[in-house]
């Protein structure tokens, strides 16, 4: 089963207009044009809301897609501070990250709310990147499969997964410099794969860098990466995209 690999950057709450311009220029230059997508890998950046216009303007017509890091589960209305799927679509976002562990842990997003956000994204013709992953405590207690199954099943219980993307992000590996071993990632990906379809892309996220990406992306059920810190450094992000390109 051939799946187009995806390397998606999550800029989190970083950047400013000048830094973004330099980063985007370097990424576009480094990745070249349409040739890159032909290599069986797609690259994307998920950026803070205020910069969507800047990013859309710079990336339109290039090989790099863009998206957001969150959205509201509501279509519109009196929800101060929220951003709807339709607003993201207005900026031609292709992707939106849903249920990142920072949203779950720092902003109290429940499985049910994540499922509602996922449904809103799909209804709005966006491609959700659904994040699931266990804490270190949960892993040590042998509950990894139970936790990721619960998180995924909350979404599957509300409708089709469709062409959405799944991202396995062990919480203990995010921003810590500690990665899951390729085998640990593969085990969880293979477990998740049984709940989705053979076509579903399953990304790994958690301290992926240019120098550890090859071993992780070589696993049969790893279809690319969700990249935090390294997506803010053009050379590192390009390096990871190139590793994905070489796979397979």
7 strand-pairing partners = 43, 225
CA count, 13 A, side-chain hemisphere, 224:
26
- Catalytic one among 102, 134, 169, 245? 169
Among 175, 181, 199, 235, binds ligand PEP (CB under 6 A): 175
CA count, 13 A, side-chain hemisphere, 228:
20
Check residue 174 for interaction with ligand PEP (CB under 6 A): yes
3-state secondary structure of 211: coil
Among 15, 128, 133, 206, binds ligand PEP (CB under 6 A): 206
Residue whose C-alpha is closest to residue 219's, from 202, 236, 206: 202
The residues, any chain, with a CB within 8 Å of residue 89's CB and separated by 6 or more, are 124, 125, 126
Strand ranges (DSSP E) for the chain?
Answer: 5-10, 41-46, 64-68, 95-98, 127-132, 165-168, 202-205, 224-227
Nearer to ligand PEP, 128 or 228 (CB): 228
Among 104, 207, 244, 245, binds ligand PEP (CB under 6 A): 207
Q: How far is the CB of 226 from ligand PEP (least distance, A)?
A: 5
Q: How far is the CB of 38 from ligand PEP (least distance, A)?
A: 26
Check residue 84 for interaction with ligand PEP (CB under 6 A): no
Nearer to ligand PEP, 45 or 57 (CB): 45
Nearer to ligand PEP, 15 or 228 (CB): 228
Nearer to ligand PEP, 86 or 215 (CB): 215
Check residue 208 for interaction with ligand PEP (CB under 6 A): yes
Q: Is 14 a catalytic residue?
A: no
Check residue 227 for interaction with ligand PEP (CB under 6 A): yes
Check residue 226 for interaction with ligand PEP (CB under 6 A): yes
Number of residues counted as binding ligand PEP (CB under 6 A): 13
The encoded tokens of residue 17 equal: 């207009």
Q: Please give the C-alpha separations between residue 38 and each of 5, 41, 137, 224, in angstroms, as whole numbers.
A: 11, 7, 41, 15
Check residue 169 for interaction with ligand PEP (CB under 6 A): yes
Residue whose C-alpha is closest to residue 95's, from 131, 57, 61: 131
Alpha-carbon distance of 204 to 215, in angstroms, equals 12
Alpha-carbon distance of 153 to 161, in angstroms, equals 10
- Catalytic one among 100, 102, 189, 245? 100
Check residue 10 for interaction with ligand PEP (CB under 6 A): yes
Dihedral (CA of 207, 211, 215, 219) sign:
positive
Binding window for ligand PEP (CB under 6 A); candidates: 119-127, 139-147, 182-190, 223-231: 223-231
Q: Is 100 a catalytic residue?
A: yes
Q: How far is the CB of 99 from ligand PEP (least distance, A)?
A: 11
Q: Give residues in contact with ligand PEP (CB under 6 A).
A: 10, 169, 174-175, 205-208, 226-230
What are the residue numbers of the active site? 100, 169
């Amino acid at each position: 089963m051939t799946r187009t690999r995806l390397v998606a950057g999550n800029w989190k709450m970083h950047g400013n207009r000048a830094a973004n311009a330099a980063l985007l220029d370097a990424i576009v230059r480094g990745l070249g044009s349409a040739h890159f997508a032909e290599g069986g890998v797609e690259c994307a950046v998920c950026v803070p809301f205020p910069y969507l216009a800047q990013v859309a303007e710079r990336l339109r017509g290039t090989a790099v897609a863009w998206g957001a890091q969150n959205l509201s589960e509501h279509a519109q209305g009196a929800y101060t501070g929220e951003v709807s799927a339709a607003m993201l679509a207005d900026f031609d976002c292709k992707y939106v990250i849903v249920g990142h562990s920072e949203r779950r842990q720092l902003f109290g997003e429940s499985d049910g709310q994540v499922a509602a956000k996922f449904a809103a994204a799909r209804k709005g013709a966006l491609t959700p990147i659904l994040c699931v992953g266990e804490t270190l405590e949960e892993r040590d207690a042998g509950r990894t499969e139970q936790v990721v199954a619960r998180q995924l099943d909350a979404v599957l219980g509300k409708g089709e997964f469709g062409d959405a993307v799944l991202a396995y992000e062990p919480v203990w590996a995010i921003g810590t410099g500690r990665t899951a071993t390729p085998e640990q990632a593969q085990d969880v990906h293979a477990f998740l794969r049984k709940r989705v379809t053979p076509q579903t892309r399953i990304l790994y996220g958690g301290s992926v860098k240019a120098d550890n990406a090859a071993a992780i992306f070589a696993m049969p059920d790893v279809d690319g990466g969700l990249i935090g810190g390294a997506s803010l450094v053009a050379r590192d992000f390009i390096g990871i995209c190139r590793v994905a390109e070489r796979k397979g």
